[in-house]
Amino acid sequence: MSTIKNPDALFRKVQKATHYCGGELNSVIKNPDEVQIRYAFAFPDTYEVGMSHLGMKILYHVLNQREDTYCERVFAPWLDMEEEMKKQDVPLFTNETLTPVKEFDFLGITLQYEMCYSNILNMLSLAKIPLLAKDRTEDDPFVNGGGPCAYNPEPLADFFDFFTMGEGEEVIGELMDAFKEWKKEGGTREDYLRKIARIEGIYVPSLYDVEYNEDGTIKSMTPNCPEAPKKVRKRIISDLDAVSYPDKFIVPFSDIVHDRSNIEVFRGCIRGCRFCQAGMIYRPVREKSADTLLKDACSLIESTGYEEMGLSSLSTSDYTQLEALTDKLLEVTEKEKVSLSLPSLRVDNFSLDLMERVQKVRKSGLTFAPEAGSQRMRDVINKNVSEEDLIKSATLAFEGGWNGVKLYFMIGLPYEECSDIAGIADLAHKVVDCFYESEKTNKRRGVNVTLSVASFVPKPHTPFQWARQDSMDELYEKQLFLKNEIRSRKVKYNYHQNDISVLEGVFARGDRKLSAVLLRAHELGCKLDGWNECFDLEKWKKAFSDCGIDMAFYTRERDYDEVLPWDFVDIGVSRDFMKNENEKAKQAATTPNCREKCSGCGAASLCKTKKGCVCFEQ
Amino acid sequence: MNSNYYLRYERDERVKYVSHLDFVRVFGRAIRRAHIPVAYSEGFNPHPLLGFALPLSVGYTSECEIIEIALSEEIAPDELQERLNAVLPDGIKILSAHEGKSNMKKLDIAVYNVFPEKTPSGIAAFLSMKEILIDKKTKSGIKECDIRPDIKDIKVTLGKIEMTLSAGSRNNLKPEVVIAAMNKYMDGYESGECSYHRKQIYDIDMNVI
């Protein structure tokens, strides 16, 4: 193995060299000659985005705890770095030891959102690794994908050697053990892939054949070897108190998106919103104990010196020991001058007391997510919050000294009517009114209500996975309609680019045929699509038309009896549950949350221990 | 009452791409990890009371950096040095710690070692120029200015150019600007890529700061 030659020649030429040169506090330094496995962990977006991601920190920690393995990081280079790498003929390399990624045993790529797919191809190409898995040889690493988008990996099937479904802490170790065995046995690449296909949670796309019907839908997907299971079941960590959590976070030199330490309060969400993929794929809810969290927090404060600590989960106010945790945490954080940040507050159990204790000094913005404007629509999506809840929480916040709130909504939801969209504006006006109607608010400063409106994207493994997605024109019309409904100057309206939403929807529910489109889009120069200055819809449109593929095929409504590209992935939640939820959505009927009443989704069967799991609470 | 200290430290190759602004944050976090009882500013966003002598340009290394720090409790300078060195990222090292204030406000001159790809010859002729005009970017556009008065001395040995230059808030000349001027005015000279190292800082009478 060798490191790249003359790195200074590159670093001198780019704006943010510390994004590539390593050496940050708590980055892991090992002697590469003393390990048996080298694992390059890639985040297919820029450093400031990737370094903010918790999953990468966890797996970096878990892999580097093994003496036989050295895990290093790699990110998508920014435009200036890519240009220099091409000019100087330097292949993609890791931050820790500046070693070309091609020389590693594994290249693990985390799949957080669909719009990073073009970056994956670009990074493979910069690494000089063949883009197509079938073209790789003994000289190339195994390319492994994981994360939320792996739950429908089919659009990426041609580019990956295998995918990992679900939480990675345990399965990644099994993959490393299997690698050492395989090395000892001296087999071929295919031998390794067949070997790991037997591990629960592993999907090797080349071991499956897909047949299509005449209309382009899937006829069948069948394993072509005995090692490959018909269904791939996701992995979970049953006992979050027992699994190792990083005691150190790498502290970047430069500012990043979320520059703070984080403790992970629980996984999963009790709520069951029908549009939400995270709420389904991370089932069942498993909590960490307050004691473990306090221990995690203390280690991170000590090892990083971070000024801020985040509590992360899908809905932090649903944590059963929240009060005990914040009591103990605040004792520590106040002493160490660390501020706590609490994202994901719900409008129905918002505690002003908690917010005031957490944000002692600065009263910055508060965010609530009613998601839909009318009660009918909130029942359709099973959001289970009422207008009364929102007005009550907003009033509390305003009376507590806040004078701005941000409200998250979606448009383009299934079964949506004009009145539902108008309801978004109505609700915003009512929030403005409640500020002026209360006698205890500070009127001198006025009030700001910011509407952040995203376009709904149907996602695999949700009750809305069969739904039709609105076209760009329809979404545009709805955005305009909403804009005209807003009459108060206190309401600010932000909306999401709808062309990106449609493309995201196509890849979210795509099949293997889309690999060709990704390849073509890469040839046309698509990359860094999450960045406005880089995204170019025209190039994407050309890639689709060059491949003779119609985006509308992927945004259409699907029948219950159609074989969906992701049907082979078993997330532990039954298809009957999904179907039933979709039917209830049509009737605007709600489903109670997991803590109120179990709806028998099936996820309980994933747990090996009852401790901390919502399915077994009394 | 706060107690004042100043620290001399070095920044080597491993942290040479860390900008000054980022370095301030790196230092602030090291102080927290070391549980140094630093004094904070008053106000809504209290920040630790730190003072830096002369910001180091991105890409430079140095063995003569100075930071002033105010503590709310007294600590033995040696202990301060030890505790910080235990938690600082690799590449940043406290060389010595002292009580009181430094003379950084009197800073006037800095010495740099520049390592070019090609050693220049004929530096005497360059130094004998009455004016050395270079284009300087300012807010209002490009302005021609004379850097000769800010060059105190240049010595050339094999593979190394030692420059003594004006430094500080009044007149500050960066060695890379001198290299650009050498490339421009010295016939046939091409420095190639250079590395820059700050060797020492002085007051106007050449007393080490």
* A7-233 CATH fold: Rossmann fold (3.40.50)
- List the alpha helices (DSSP H) in A359-417: 375-380, 387-399
The answer, yes or no, to whether residue A473 has pLDDT greater than 90, is yes
Domain presence at residue B176: yes
Which residue does chain A place closest to B195, by CA atoms?
Answer: A8
Domain presence at residue B20: yes
Strand order in the sheet with A339-341: A261-264, A308-312, A339-341
- List the alpha helices (DSSP H) in B34-147: 77-87, 123-127
Identify whether the C-beta of residue A585 lies closer than 8 Å to the C-beta of residue A381: yes
**More confident site: A365 or A341:** A341
Q: Parse chain A into domains and list their residue ranges.
A: 7-233, 365-513+549-556
- What average pLDDT does range A161-178 have in this prediction? 98
Mark which of B36, B69, B102 sits at the end of a domain.
Answer: B102
Q: Work out the minimum CA distance from B88 to partner chain A, whole angstroms.
A: 8
> pLDDT tens digit string along A291-318?
999 999 999 999 999 999 999 999 888 9
Which residue does chain B place closest to A301, by CA atoms?
Answer: B33
Nearest to A251 among B29, B90, B193 (CB): B29
Contact: B15, A23; criterion CB under 8 Å: yes
A151 to A53, A203, A332, A456: CA distances (angstroms): 18, 10, 39, 19
Q: Work out the minimum CA distance from B176 to partner chain A, whole angstroms.
A: 13
Domain presence at residue B209: no
Chain B residues whose CB is inside 8 A of the A18 CB are: 17-19, 22
**Least confident interval from A49-58, A346-355, A443-452, A506-515:** A346-355
Which residue does chain B place closest to A18, by CA atoms?
Answer: B17
Question: A with B: how many residue pairs have Cβ under 8 Å apart?
Answer: 59
Distance CA A539, CA A515 (A): 16
Nearest to B17 among A21, A255, A305 (CB): A21
Per DSSP (E only), the strands in A258-312 are 261-264, 266-267, 286-287, 308-312
- Statement to judge: residues B44 and B92 lie in one domain: yes
What is the per-residue pLDDT for A1? Answer: 57
Q: Work out the minimum CA distance from B174 to partner chain A, whole angstroms.
A: 16
Nearest to A361 among B15, B44, B87 (CB): B44
Domain boundaries, position B157: 109-202
- What average pLDDT does range A26-55 have in this prediction? 97
What CATH number does the domain located at A365-513+549-556 have?
3.30.750.200
Confidence bin at A345 (pLDDT 50/70/90):
low
Range A311-344 burial, b when 16+ CB lie within 10 A, else e: bbbbbbbbbbbbeebbebbbeebeebebbbbbeb
Nearest to A253 among B26, B31, B195 (CB): B26
> pLDDT tens digit string along B124-162?
999 999 999 999 887 888 889 999 999 999 999 999 999
Confidence bin at A348 (pLDDT 50/70/90):
low
Distance CA A576, CA A597 (A): 18
Q: Work out the minimum CA distance from B166 to partner chain A, whole angstroms.
A: 25
Nearest to B193 among A9, A302, A336 (CB): A9
Write out the H or E segment, with its range, that includes residue A225: none
Q: Please report, in angstroms and rounded to a whole number, the separation of the first and last CA atoms in chain A.
A: 56
- Statement to judge: residues B98 and B130 lie in one domain: no
- What average pLDDT does range A19-46 have in this prediction? 97
Contact: A21, B29; criterion CB under 8 Å: no
The answer, yes or no, to whether residue A353 has pLDDT greater than 80, is no
B139 to A228, A398, B134, B171: CA distances (angstroms): 66, 44, 16, 17
Contact: A253, B18; criterion CB under 8 Å: yes
Write out the H or E segment, with its range, that includes residue A47: helix A47-50
Confidence bin at A341 (pLDDT 50/70/90):
confident
Domain presence at residue B92: yes
**Least confident interval from A183-192, A421-430, A502-511, B128-137:** B128-137
What is the per-residue pLDDT for A340? Answer: 86
Chain B residues whose CB is inside 8 A of the A11 CB are: 17, 59
- Statement to judge: residues B127 and B81 lie in one domain: no
Q: Work out the minimum CA distance from A370 to partner chain B, whole angstroms.
A: 32
Residue A82 half-sphere exposure, CB side, CA atoms within 13 Å? 17
- What average pLDDT does range A545-571 have in this prediction? 97
Chain A residues whose CB is inside 8 A of the B22 CB are: 18, 253-255
Q: Work out the minimum CA distance from A442 to partner chain B, whole angstroms.
A: 20
Chain A residues whose CB is inside 8 A of the B17 CB are: 11, 17-18, 21, 253
**Least confident interval from A273-287, A330-344, A458-472:** A330-344
Domain CATH code at residue B152: 3.30.70
Nearest to A362 among B19, B33, B44 (CB): B44
Domain presence at residue B208: no
Mark which of B102, B119, B153 sits at the end of a domain.
Answer: B102
Would you write out chain B's pLDDT as a tens digit for each of its 209 residues?
Answer: 899 999 999 999 999 999 999 999 999 999 999 999 999 888 777 788 899 989 999 999 999 999 999 999 999 999 999 999 999 999 999 999 999 999 999 999 999 999 999 999 999 999 999 999 999 887 888 889 999 999 999 999 999 999 999 999 889 999 999 999 999 999 999 999 999 999 999 999 999 98
ipTM of the complex: 0.92
- In a mutational test of the B interface, the residue from A25, A260, A307 whose CB has the highest number of chain B CBs within 10 Å is A25
The answer, yes or no, to whether residue A112 has pLDDT greater than 80, is yes
Q: Work out the minimum CA distance from A3 to partner chain B, whole angstroms.
A: 16
Contact: A8, B195; criterion CB under 8 Å: yes
- Statement to judge: residues B8 and B88 lie in one domain: yes
3-state class of A124 per DSSP? helix
Confidence bin at A495 (pLDDT 50/70/90):
confident
- In a mutational test of the B interface, the residue from A5, A6, A8 whose CB has the highest number of chain B CBs within 10 Å is A8
Chain B residues whose CB is inside 8 A of the A7 CB are: none
Confidence bin at A361 (pLDDT 50/70/90):
very low
A565 to A205, A562, B23: CA distances (angstroms): 12, 9, 49
What is the per-residue pLDDT for B46? Answer: 76
The answer, yes or no, to whether residue A388 has pLDDT greater than 70, is yes
| Average pLDDT of every residue of chain B | 94
- In a mutational test of the B interface, the residue from A96, A254, A338, A360 whose CB has the highest number of chain B CBs within 10 Å is A254
Contact residues of B toward A, CB < 8 A: 14-15, 17-19, 22-23, 25-26, 28-33, 40, 44-46, 58-59, 87, 89-91, 193, 195
Chain B residues whose CB is inside 8 A of the A251 CB are: 26, 29
Contact: A23, B14; criterion CB under 8 Å: yes
Confidence bin at A485 (pLDDT 50/70/90):
very high
Distance CA A5, CA A88 (A): 10
- In a mutational test of the A interface, the residue from B15, B33, B90 whose CB has the highest number of chain A CBs within 10 Å is B33
**Structure tokens of A183?**
């090395």
Contact: A305, B30; criterion CB under 8 Å: yes
3-state class of A257 per DSSP? coil
- Statement to judge: residues B13 and B86 lie in one domain: yes
Nearest to A23 among B22, B87, B90 (CB): B90
| Average pLDDT of every residue of chain A | 94
> pLDDT tens digit string along A246-298?
999 999 999 999 999 999 999 999 999 999 999 999 999 999 999 999 999 99
What domain count does chain B have? 2
From the centroid of its chain, how far is CA A206?
25
- What average pLDDT does range A220-230 have in this prediction? 97
Q: Work out the minimum CA distance from A309 to partner chain B, whole angstroms.
A: 14
DSSP letter at A324 equals: H
A219 to A210, A212, A213, A215: CA distances (angstroms): 8, 5, 5, 10
Distance CA B64, CA B199 (A): 6
- Statement to judge: residues B131 and B158 lie in one domain: yes
Contact: A254, B22; criterion CB under 8 Å: yes
pTM: 0.94
Distance CA B83, CA A466 (A): 60
Which percentage of chain B shows pLDDT scores above 70? 100
What is the per-residue pLDDT for A429? Answer: 96
- In a mutational test of the A interface, the residue from B12, B15, B17 whose CB has the highest number of chain A CBs within 10 Å is B17
Chain B residues whose CB is inside 8 A of the A25 CB are: 26, 29, 89
Mark which of B102, B128, B153 sits at the end of a domain.
Answer: B102
Domain CATH code at residue B21: 3.30.70.580
